[in-house]
Amino acid sequence: ALAAALAGVSGAGATRDGHAVALLANIGGVDDAEAAGALDLEGVGLFRTEFVYLSAQTMPTVEEQAEVYRRVLAPFPGRRVVVRTLDAGADKPLAFANLGEEENPALGRRGLRLCQAMPEVLDSQLEALAIAARETGADVRVMAPMVATADEAAWFAARVRAVGLPKAGVMIEVPAAALRSRHVLEDVDFGSLGTNDLAQYTMAADRMEGELSDLLDPWQPAVLDVVAAACEGGAVTGKPIGVCGVCGESAGDPYLALVLAGLGVSSLSMAPSKVPAVRLALSVHTLDECRELAGRARAARSASEAREAVRAAASAELTAI
Ligand code: PEP
Ligand code: MG
């Protein structure tokens, strides 16, 4: 029954009443890009670029970077590719740009903070991406990781525009940015929620600590409240908010996808294998039904109650398979 149901829907993601929710892939290199490019997907919602830098002993030249980016972008002419700029830090150290050891790498000079200390690293990455975008015709949108304030977002957007890339965004993975999203989004074009870090920082639970996985569950009502706050700022500013990372095993959970759509996100990025089930789940619910499910999840007092409440209330067309 599942295979037949999955085969019954294809193409762009949408709710039953036609509200678009773009379905995108998470990729981390050339092989992933080639595999995802061949699939029925609207593009890429998270291209993690760390592999270009973490193994390099010296800063790669703009041309060396552009060559890698050409290969990643080549399968996506005319399709969206959201590129996350370098997300290095004390736990993912760069040989050529090391700011030293830190007591708490997750709270340290990582992501955009590291690029603010070494802007030449970010500028060369952006330049290489602009070259590869022009040559491949991919619809490249770049976003910065670990943004906490509106000033950081504005700083990043100015550097993106300086190289001629048309769209700049921010990852919303720090609760401060989610709570203040109407200001953080002012100078950028979009936001993208990363719930791995958003859950870690909301719940004060190290994402690498397996013993804390219950706290890191993306169904935690507190995490859903923070996501909702981010989406409210998106609605006020008219800026789209997507989701590009959902913690651990739950990535591509079709029930969570309904809740996220109900909270207002307009794209979902995941491991490509999860896309068909998410597409099907959306196609059998209206946007109002998704909103209603989101309300049920946020009214629950625990992650497991939220999950159960949504499963129980979701369309029988989904629960039957
Ligand atoms: C996230 O934090 O949710 C995310 C998508 O980024 P990463 O997992 O690479 O930190
Ligand atoms: Mg992250």
Q: CB-based contacts of 177: which residues, under 8 Å, 6+ apart?
A: 147, 148, 149, 153, 170, 184, 191, 230
Task: Please give the pLDDT value at position 316.
Answer: 85
Residues with CB under 6 A from ligand 1: 46, 48, 87, 173, 194-197, 244-245
d(CA 158, CA 162) in angstroms, rounded, equals 6
Residue 319 confidence (pLDDT) above 70: yes
d(CA 283, CA 13) in angstroms, rounded, equals 8
Average pLDDT for 140-169:
98
Average pLDDT for 165-175:
98
Residue 6 confidence (pLDDT) above 90: no
Output the CA 194–ligand 1 centroid distance in Å: 5
Residue 284 confidence (pLDDT) above 90: yes
Q: Residue 98: how many CB atoms within 10 A of its CB? A: 12
Residue 25 has φ and ψ, to the nearest 5°, of -105, 150
* Nearest Cα residue to atom 3 of ligand 1: 194
d(CA 116, CA 156) in angstroms, rounded, equals 9
Output the CA 17–ligand 1 centroid distance in Å: 31
Closest ligand 1 atom to Cα of 173? 2
The ligand whose atoms approach the alpha carbon of 198 most closely is: 1
Output the CA 18–ligand 2 centroid distance in Å: 31
Task: Please give the pLDDT value at position 250.
Answer: 60
pLDDT, the chain, mean: 95
Nearest residue to 112 (alpha-carbon basis) of 162, 59, 168? 168
Closest ligand 1 atom to Cα of 26? 5
* Nearest Cα residue to atom 6 of ligand 1: 194
Residue 178 has φ and ψ, to the nearest 5°, of -65, -45
Residue 100 confidence (pLDDT) above 90: no
Q: What is the dihedral of CA 300, 301, 303, 305, to 10 degrees?
A: -60
Closest ligand 1 atom to Cα of 194? 3
Residue 249 confidence (pLDDT) above 80: no
pLDDT in tens, 55-96: 999 999 999 999 999 999 999 999 999 999 999 998 888 999
* Nearest Cα residue to atom 9 of ligand 1: 48
* Nearest Cα residue to atom 4 of ligand 1: 194
d(CA 169, CA 184) in angstroms, rounded, equals 10
Average pLDDT for 142-156:
98
Among 48, 146, 173, which residue has the most ligand 1 atoms within 8 Å of its CB, making it the best to mutate?
A: 173
Percent of the chain with pLDDT over 70: 98
The ligand whose atoms approach the alpha carbon of 242 most closely is: 1
ipTM: 0.99
Task: Please give the pLDDT value at position 179.
Answer: 98
Task: Please give the pLDDT value at position 251.
Answer: 61
d(CA 182, CA 239) in angstroms, rounded, equals 9
DSSP H or E stretch at residue 133:
helix 119-136
Q: What's this model's pTM, rounded to 2 decimal places?
A: 0.96
